[in-house]
Amino acid sequence: MELFKVQPIFYLLHFLHIIGIECVAWYLLWQFGDCWPVWLVSAGLLATAQAQAGWTQHDYGHLSVFNNFKLNHLFHQITIGHLKGASSHWWNFRHFQHHVKPNIHKKDPDITLPQVFLLGDHLPREWGSQKRGKAPYNHQHNYFWILGPWFLLPGYFHLENIYFVLMRRDWYDVLWMSTFFLKFFYLGNSILAGGWATFKFYMFVRWLESHWFVFVTQMNHLPMEIGKDHNNDWVTSQLISTCNVEPGLFNNWFSGHLNFQIEHHLFPTMPRHNYPKVAPYVKDLCKKHNVTYVEKKLGTAFADIIRSLRKSGKLWFNAYYHID
């Protein structure tokens, strides 16, 4: 079946459609000015281009596109550095830890922020019984909207990227990141009313993108098992921490095929256009060995993020105040 064989046209068209969306966004601003309707449409288009660039950089970061290691890394720099303004080495550092130990406290950076969010069943009970934590975790499903989608990309990721490249003195990544900001602020200053207007426009684009990014990246993991490392085998560790969202043209595009999160975690270097081909075999394997294969509708997956936060917060609250 050649499940690891790449279809170059898939990645070429995906790359070109990102560039096309971005060009249309800037053209609308240039042609029709920065009146509110055009400003909002252009911001929405740029947020779409940024979200899709996030999925395509993910492909190159996983070495899924080229057979050549150096080419994958070069295009990862282009897609995450030039198209998105982020550090390739920072992404690799975070993301590879996530894949090795998904949903494991202190080993997966994507779920390890207990000062703000307590996730899963074990840690909330442990912290509650020990009277630990100053955040109102029983309300974390409410403040998630501000500290999650509102703040992650516009605030936290910017600060973490800057800290990472400066501490490592990673000037190569800084160079690639600079090309994004030079391009964005040159175009913005040429069309909008100066640097401050461009900065506000940029942050609004990131704010829109952040909602997209947070819900897609968290829907597959946050509602699943989160806890300590029990040294499970590879397949079990991926299946208990990961779920899928049902496939379809929109869902596949919207999530960058990360709706096939189980297949992606089992085969991290597989080209994503082959996930639908391997999925039936993964389902059969799970059925044969009595391993649960979870697949949800998109709306259910989004809602489960909030439900899981509410559940974990309640566990902490009950343990803290000794409520049975």
pLDDT tens-place string over residues 145-184: 999 999 999 999 999 999 999 999 999 999 999 999 999 9
Q: Work out the widest C-alpha separation in the chain, in whole angstroms.
A: 63
Domain ranges of the chain: 8-320
Cα dihedral: 130, 136, 141, 142 (round 10) = 180
Residue 32 binned pLDDT confidence (cut-offs 50, 70, 90): very high
Tell which residue, 148, 11, 174, 171, has the closest CA to residue 86.
174
Condensed to tens digits (0 to 9), the pLDDT of residues 183-225 reads 999 999 999 989 999 999 999 999 999 999 999 999 999 999 9
| Residue 110 DSSP symbol | T
pTM across the whole model: 0.95
pLDDT at 124: 96
Residue 114 near residue 140 (C-beta atoms within 8 A):
no
**What's the mean per-residue pLDDT of the chain?**
96
Tell me if residue 245 falls in helix, strand or coil: strand
Q: How many CA atoms lie within 13 A of 24 on its CB side?
A: 13
pLDDT surpassing 70 at residue 324: no
